[in-house]
């Protein structure tokens, strides 16, 4: 399926729109702890679990991280006129971990919603792929994911290096209709602008790893 790995890939029509409506119904629960941008650590929800374990999702994930790909984190991103936000150019370098350990190549450390996180070295991030399921139509006008192709090949970058890349590269908008999936590697430099229309953009961001045990006692947390 994935013929050229540029650090991202758009697959349209993975799920039906009615499938996405069922997921949205579960995510509309008033008991769901939300932030302005969405909600974290959703793998405990039945509908999210089912979506993450769907053979179509696992097939895509294995194209990037190999057989045995496992989901370990799910995040809802919600963007609308009432909750309109942007994300500057960056890489996703923090991973959820089961316990703290002494390794200077990991860190700084933090906690988010009670889960321990550390910024990871490139060798660990290369074992992860994020699959972003479009619950609504993701359009060029409602703040879609934007990427700089092939930037995942340069390892973990400094802020200055990212700024230099942005000045010299042409961004790609990753648009997908409801039910489409955008795959993105954590090290791919990406951003998201504010929406300029009334169409909501809700995305379920599910991350998969080649293994939950990264070696030397380093284990990913599930959430």
Give the torsion through C-alpha atoms of 193, 27, 42, 119, to 10 deg: 10
pLDDT for residue 223:
85
pLDDT for residue 208:
98
Give pLDDT tens digits along the chain (223 positions). 666 789 999 999 999 999 999 999 999 888 888 888 889 999 999 999 999 999 999 999 999 999 999 999 999 999 887 788 889 999 999 999 999 999 999 999 999 888 999 999 999 999 999 999 999 999 999 999 999 999 999 999 999 999 999 999 999 999 999 999 999 999 999 999 888 888 889 999 999 999 999 988 899 999 8
pLDDT for residue 86:
85
DSSP codes, the chain: ---S-SSEEEETTSS-HHHHHHHHHHHT-TTS---SSEE---TTSHHHHHHHT-HHHHHHHHHHH-TT-EEEEEEEEEE-SSS---EEEE---EEEESS----TTS--EEEETTEEEEE--HHHHTTEEEEEEESS-B-TTS--EEE-TTGGGG-S--HHHHHHHHHHS--EEE-B-TT-EEEE-TTS-EEEPPP-SS--EEEEEEEEES-SEEETTEEB---
pLDDT for residue 2:
66
pLDDT for residue 197:
87
pLDDT for residue 118:
98
pLDDT for residue 33:
83
Q: Domain 8-219 sits in which CATH superfamily? A: q2cbj1_9rhob like domain (2.60.120.620)
Closest by Cα among 127, 155, 129, 152 to 213: 127
| Report field, pTM of the whole predicted structure over 0.75 | yes
């Amino acid at each position: 399926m994935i013929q050229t790995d540029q650090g991202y890939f758009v697959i349209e029509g993975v799920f039906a729109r009615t499938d996405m409506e069922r997921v949205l119904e579960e995510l509309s629960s008033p008991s769901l702890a939300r932030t302005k941008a969405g909600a974290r650590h959703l793998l405990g929800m039945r509908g999210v679990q089912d979506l993450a374990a769907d053979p179509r999702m696992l097939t895509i994930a294995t194209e990037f991280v190999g057989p045995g790909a496992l989901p370990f984190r799910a995040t809802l991103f919600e963007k609308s006129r009432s909750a309109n936000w942007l994300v500057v150019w960056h890489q996703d370098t923090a991973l959820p971990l089961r316990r703290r350990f002494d390794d200077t190549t990991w860190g700084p450390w933090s906690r988010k919603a009670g889960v321990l996180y550390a910024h990871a070295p490139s060798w660990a991030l290369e074992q992860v792929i994020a699959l972003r399921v479009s619950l609504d139509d993701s359009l060029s006008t409602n703040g879609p994911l934007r990427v700089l192709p092939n930037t995942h090949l340069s390892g973990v970058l400094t802020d200055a290096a990212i700024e230099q890349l942005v000045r010299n590269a042409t961004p790609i908008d990753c648009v997908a209709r409801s039910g489409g999936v955008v795959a993105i590697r954590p090290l791919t430099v990406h951003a998201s602008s504010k929406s300029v229309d009334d169409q909501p953009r809700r995305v379920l961001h599910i991350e998969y790893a080649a293994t939950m045990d990264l070696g030397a006692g380093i284990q990913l947390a599930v959430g």
